[in-house]
Chain A
Amino acid sequence: MVREAYPIGHVRTPYYIRGKHGVIERLCGAFPNPEELAYARSGQPAQPLYRVRFLQRDVWPDYAGQPLDVVEVEIYQHWLEAEEHAR
């Protein structure tokens, strides 16, 4: 699950995906944390970055497309919380 938090600053986790449940599509590598870089700090230690896949109908309650349509979003590890059951 994506953390549902609303800190002030340069956050690369879109509002619409916070608090939503998804599955990891791939690990992209580790990158300096943009929330630190934006304030001219080092961004170290680098944060693992994942591509996470969400069913559109889980993201938008009124989604009008097809049931298997998905949206994939890059999310840093510190914005993700592990869950017991894969969805």
Chain B
Amino acid sequence: MSHDHDHTEDHAHVHRYPPRPDQDDTLTYYRAMEAAVRELLIDKGVLTAEDVRRQVENMDGRNAGLGAKMVARAWIDSAYKQRMLANGSEAAEEIGLDVGPLKLVVVENTPTVHNVIVCTLCSCYPRMLLGLPPDWYKSRNYRSRVVREPRAVLAEFGTVIPDDVLIRVHDSTADMRYLVAPRRPQGTENWGEAELARLVTRDSMIGVALADPA
């Protein structure tokens, strides 16, 4: 299509398209239930609409940069790493990350062990440190397959784990939440914490990828 067409005609053309519907305009059973419970809580004064909005904004504002900060600190401070592996929640609080009542277990990748996390029962995820989970993490495909053929699933993500590295799958079935500490990439010996944190991606902390190379 040429860019020197008649602009007026093009403008009229655009308006012939019907507006695209919202993706959430179907009132399903659970959407109706969520709206009913939320409106009742507001009517009864348990919560305000502002509380709900603030909490949604808070969760939407969380992202993998929080978990990355923790991993990068562990890469440069081995005493911190030991505390992090012993008690993830306390180690997060120690560097100013608010994890609320989250019971965090950090699992470390080593030359002989690769860790990956899943919640086969629902979608448990360290949201306080990674933000909302990606859609694939909640899919039946990932949840049912990564627990029984982790090597094949990781390969689909482009992550081929050598045969001499054992894979440890963590199924978050109850009260713990997991974060994978990926291995520190080679060639980063003199890097600072902020620089290192940029290599620690969301997927590397789920365990479906390695940290980005230097």
Query: Which A residues fall within an 8 A CB radius of B?
Result: 12-14, 16-17, 28-29, 31, 34, 49, 51, 56, 59-60, 63-66, 68-76
Bound-complex Cα distance A27 to B152 (A) = 31
Query: Which residues 7-62 in B have Cβ within 8 Å of A in the complex?
Result: none
Once the chains bind, are B167 and A66 in contact (CB under 8 Å)?
Answer: yes
Q: Which residues of A contact B103 (CB under 8 A)?
A: 28-29
Q: Which residues of B contact A71 (CB under 8 A)?
A: 147, 168-171
Residue of A nearest to B168 (CB): A70
Once the chains bind, are B149 and A65 in contact (CB under 8 Å)?
Answer: yes
Bound-complex Cα distance A71 to B121 (A) = 14
Where chain A touches its partner, the secondary structure class is: mixed
* Known contacts A14-B120, A65-B150, A65-B151, A74 near B168 by CB under 8 Å: no
* Known contacts A65-B151, A66-B163, A28 near B176 by CB under 8 Å: yes
* Known contacts A14-B121, A29-B103, A31-B174, A69 near B150 by CB under 8 Å: yes
Query: Which B residues fall within an 8 A CB radius of A?
Result: 103, 105, 120-121, 147-152, 163, 166-176
Bound-complex Cα distance A49 to B148 (A) = 23
* Known contacts A29-B103, A65-B149, A65-B151, A12 near B174 by CB under 8 Å: yes
Q: Which residues of A contact B171 (CB under 8 A)?
A: 14, 17, 71-74
Where chain B touches its partner, the secondary structure class is: mixed
Once the chains bind, are A51 and B166 in contact (CB under 8 Å)?
Answer: no
Q: Which residues of B contact A64 (CB under 8 A)?
A: 149, 151-152
Once the chains bind, are B166 and A74 in contact (CB under 8 Å)?
Answer: no
Q: Which residues of B contact A17 (CB under 8 A)?
A: 171
Residue of B nearest to A53 (CB): B168
Partner pick for A73 among B163, B173, B175, CB 8 A cutoff: B173
Q: Which residues of B contact A34 (CB under 8 A)?
A: 174
Bound-complex Cα distance A56 to B145 (A) = 13
CB of A60, distance to nearest CB on chain B (Å)? 5
Q: Which residues of B contact A51 (CB under 8 A)?
A: 105, 176
Once the chains bind, are B174 and A49 in contact (CB under 8 Å)?
Answer: yes
Q: Which residues of A contact B170 (CB under 8 A)?
A: 71-72
Q: In the complex, given contacts A16-B147, A73-B171, what are 7 additional A-B residue pairs having Cβ atoms less than 8 angstroms apart?
A: A28-B176, A51-B176, A63-B148, A70-B168, A72-B170, A74-B172, A74-B173
Bound-complex Cα distance A74 to B103 (A) = 12
Q: Which residues of B contact A12 (CB under 8 A)?
A: 121, 173-174
Q: Which residues of B contact A73 (CB under 8 A)?
A: 171, 173
Bound-complex Cα distance A74 to B147 (A) = 14
Bound-complex Cα distance A69 to B150 (A) = 9
Q: Which residues of B contact A16 (CB under 8 A)?
A: 120, 147-148
Once the chains bind, are A76 and B174 in contact (CB under 8 Å)?
Answer: yes
Bound-complex Cα distance A70 to B170 (A) = 9
CB of A9, distance to nearest CB on chain B (Å)? 13
